[in-house]
Structure 1
């Protein structure tokens, strides 16, 4: 077990999960529902990596997506399953390491992959493994949404800057858009940035 995994398991166990329960990322809503500049995505299969207690997964399921949520913390997944049951949505939640998705049989061909605050907490080696696994799980033409803290903006989180994200996804992916995640959607949390990629066909 990595130090990152141990930390999150301890934090969930003691009930300290300040990232839980925040409003959905505006970038996720725009991607899924569209806006005046962008049409909505047609629902299909979605993978929510580092899904935590399932808020993004539940949102996607309510919008017609067939969702698989993945996290390595059992406590978070138990809460996610309870939330999904209360909302009467059917979601597949699996305990797995996002840097080893293929070993856990998570599957492939996902048309949308969502990461709200997973990649920014990893070290360099884990990030490379993450990109390999996410790429293998994605369907040709899939969309990938990342919402990540910048480096140096929050204590205890490595963070990741735009140039690092672009370098990691320079092969097999094309960036469609990126920008600051609106602060009001994060209850005043430290600056985050969103990135939308498209998997090469």
Structure 2
């Protein structure tokens, strides 16, 4: 099913109508700096939260319906943020670079064959010494989300050979519309562009 169709007839399973708690926590700890890219921003809750702190934020997605919803939220809340249509596998087409890049719930949607291309796409827009944060479904624990990822899969694809250094991979939770109050097991990875 095309991504845009996920936003027709009600909220998408991952659209919780607020920013992910892990992203709110990261923002409160000063984890975002400089120009910020939210890759696969959906209806924009994470991008809007970061932008509300006064940082320049670009949220990108392939789903036009989600982007229209994100722009409406930004207008309603009076938050200055930019949203644009972009293919996460070809972020170089943005012609811009970012000090902080956020992937919240996108990485795990790519299969093993797509991941190297996605990682190269991320590298093309991340400043050297910039930081990438990845929040993805984890394979560790019960009631995992769809397409769970192992710690080993993350460290294998984000490696020094392709310009990345994994600083940390911590267990966390990701909220969905189907996993109750505690959410689903997740990895929260902090990855540096080298």
Per the alignment, residue 116 of structure 1 pairs with 104
Per the alignment, residue 23 of structure 2 pairs with 28
- Higher-helix-fraction structure: 1
Residue 160 of structure 1: CA displacement? 1.3
1:1-201 matches, cutoff 5 A: 6=2, 8-21=3-16, 23-34=18-29, 40-41=30-31, 43-102=33-92, 105-151=93-139, 153-154=144-145, 157-171=146-160, 172-182=163-173, 187-200=181-194
Q: How high is the TM-score relative to the length of structure 2? A: 0.86
Return structure 1 stretches of 4+ with deviation > 6 angstroms: 183-186
In structure 2, the CA distance between the partners of 1:184 and 1:82, relative to structure 1 (3 Å rule), is closer
The residue matched to 2:184 in structure 1 has which SS?
A: coil
Residue 43 of structure 1: CA displacement? 3.4
In the comparison of the two structures, how many residue pairs are matched?
186
Query: Retained in 2: the 8 A contact 1:71–1:96?
Result: yes
Residue 183 of structure 1: CA displacement? 6.4
CA deviations 1:98-145 (Å, max 9, x no partner) are 01112xx31332000001100101112221111001011000111111
Gaps of 5+ in 1: 35-39
Query: Retained in 1: the 8 A contact 2:167–2:190?
Result: yes
Cα RMSD after superposing both structures: 2.2
Q: How high is the TM-score relative to the length of structure 1? A: 0.83
